[in-house]
Amino acid sequence: MNQKISDKRNMASSLDSQGVEALFRGDYAAARALHKKGLTLFREMADKSGIEMALNSLGCVALVEGNYKEARSLHEESLALARELGNKSVIARSLDNLGLVAFAQGEFAEAQTLHTESLALAQELGDDYRGDTHRIAYLMLELAGEAAALGLFRRAICLAAVAETQRAALELDWEPLVHLPYERAIASVRIILDEDAYSEAWAQGEKMTQAEAVAYVLRPDGSTIA
């Protein structure tokens, strides 16, 4: 019996991995089908951790397909399960993904709140954050885009510089399916701020350490670091 459960769990996990691969190659229909099969297996085993993972994966598919209402529902269910399980790393990831949905729906203040909470958890977890050191760089880009959308232009450029510095150091590429709207929001600030203000904000972000950048984001008054 235990072997059968183990085999089923391995199959469900494999389906999730295959679904992620299908998503990245642009085969959304295949990704959805694979994740649904995995979700069915995880539900049969009452495996809450697996169910959460499959819901998150399906939410990511719905997001890139532009099915924002469905994506929100899936990620909210995923987040609720993550909170029930008490896994801070998974909670941080779920908050990040729900923030992406909020941004896509034009709910910029909500997206900023969700990503700020995700960043606080990621910073708290440090190296235990699923080994995803790049996630803080992604969150900085997302928070920069949200600041731009909310009219916080100097903050947006400061955080964009933080994100770009971290991206270069980690040799990352932004994920175009997810991050292009953020890059566009940040780019729009270039024509709003005068050159001196833009350069000053960029220089401030460029010289920040990761700890300073996180502290800047989490400051209640949103003020800059001297």
pLDDT of the residue at 219: 86
Whole-structure pTM value:
0.90
Task: Classify burial at 57, counting beta carbons within 10 Å of its beta carbon; exposed 0-12, middle 13-18, buried 19 or more.
Answer: buried
Tell me the per-residue pLDDT of 129-172, one tens digit each, with 9 for 90 and over: 554 568 889 999 999 999 999 999 999 999 999 999 999 998 88
Is the pLDDT confidence value at 3 over 80?
A: no
pLDDT of the residue at 5: 63
Tell me the per-residue pLDDT of 162-210, one tens digit each, with 9 for 90 and over: 999 999 998 888 888 788 999 999 999 989 999 999 999 999 999 999 8
Query: Which domains, ranges and CATH numbers included, belong to the chain?
Result: 1-86 (1.25.40.10), 108-226 (no CATH)
